[in-house]
Amino acid sequence: MTDMLPKVTEYIAGKDWSDVPVMQGRQFTVTPLAQGEYNLNYLITSNSIQLVFRVNIGTQIDRDDQIEYEYRALRMLQQSGVTPWPHYVDDTRSFIDRGILIMEYLPGEALDYRRDLPDAAALFAAIHQVNVPDEENHMIREEAPLSLIYEECAGLLQQYIESPLADPDIRQYLLELKAWADANRINEKYYQQDPWPCIVNTEVNSGNFIVNRERKTIHLVDWEMPRWGDPSQDLSHFCSPLTTLWKTDWRMSPARKRNFLADYCCHIDDPHLRDTLAERVRLRDPFVYLRGISWSAMGWVAYQTEFSGMKNPDTWAKLQQYMDLGFIRELFDPFIDK
């Protein structure tokens, strides 16, 4: 990450910023902020101004215009008031051979499930009610949402099912689960026949929220792979035990989940969405859980075989927790046995 720092510094110093008011006439210092699998992020500072300078190094949506896709999503989301403000995008790759995005820096801490659920519900409602004119909508559309998840998971599960490391009992249960999901993805007709499309983030783990307790604000900051889909996508993912337990020891009780969804509905203007939300989430939940278990199954095998990256002991401990037959059955038995 430090290898790119001189290039970023030179880029900022050498560019005419007359068309970007927040950058105009300023001298910025550049420091590393965070590195992910798909982006390098730098904090650029000038007096009281702090911004994020993002260098895109990969794509989660299999598109060459990854950085433009994210920038345009952030532009549409400005009216929500709960996402970072985008200031500039450059996908020419003429000086730095990667896409570049400059956006608002939001100081704060990760979401705390015990404290922040009502605020998170209001945030989701603000995002899901953003008005997007058809002519400006560049979002990838989830036309067959449950089939999309099933097909992704089938490939991931196969890596566990075919592994000599697989537990025979877990392998058998996953085969049954895969068959159940294949038969029940027909339930996606519910979303197709009664659509309520909106911008969904798709990556709503607690670390992607920034809560500023001093300012009493909450933002959702990671917009690499948003979609045009049903609000249940975000809500099911947010409430899933596989999401909440990943970085914490907290699991949402049924009562807490009902209260969270009720809080969300209090901020929703459309009575039809309020009336149908429970069913939308109910049909989505097992497929969201399936995605989490499928990735965990794949990761469990990869960590013990061909994985070449740095192995995180916390990640390995969580994969072991998730790849326990009792844990998996607790998630899926209520759906399979019906």
**CA gap 4, 313 in Å, rounded:** 28
Structural domains of the chain, with CATH: 5-104 (3.30.200.20), 113-336 (3.90.1200.10)
Position 132 confidence tier, pLDDT thresholds 50, 70, 90: very high
Structure token pair of residue 320:
């072991």
Q: What sign results for the dihedral spanned by CA atoms 218, 39, 132, 227?
A: negative
Q: What is the pLDDT of residue 312?
A: 83
pTM here is 0.95
18-38 confidence digits (pLDDT tens)? 999 999 999 999 999 988 888
Position 60 confidence tier, pLDDT thresholds 50, 70, 90: confident
Q: How confident is the prediction for the chain on average, in pLDDT? A: 95
Q: What is the pLDDT of residue 37?
A: 81
**pLDDT of 325 strictly over 90:** yes
230 Ramachandran zone, left/alpha/beta (phi>0; psi -120 to 50): beta
Q: What sign results for the dihedral spanned by CA atoms 62, 67, 72, 77?
A: positive
Q: What is the pLDDT of residue 286?
A: 98
- 3 state DSSP class of 142: coil
* Greatest extent of the chain over all pairs of C-alpha atoms, in Å: 65
250-302 confidence digits (pLDDT tens)? 999 999 999 999 999 999 999 999 999 999 999 999 999 999 999 999 999 99
61-115 confidence digits (pLDDT tens)? 989 999 999 999 999 999 999 999 999 999 999 999 999 999 999 999 999 999 9
Q: What is the pLDDT of residue 2?
A: 60
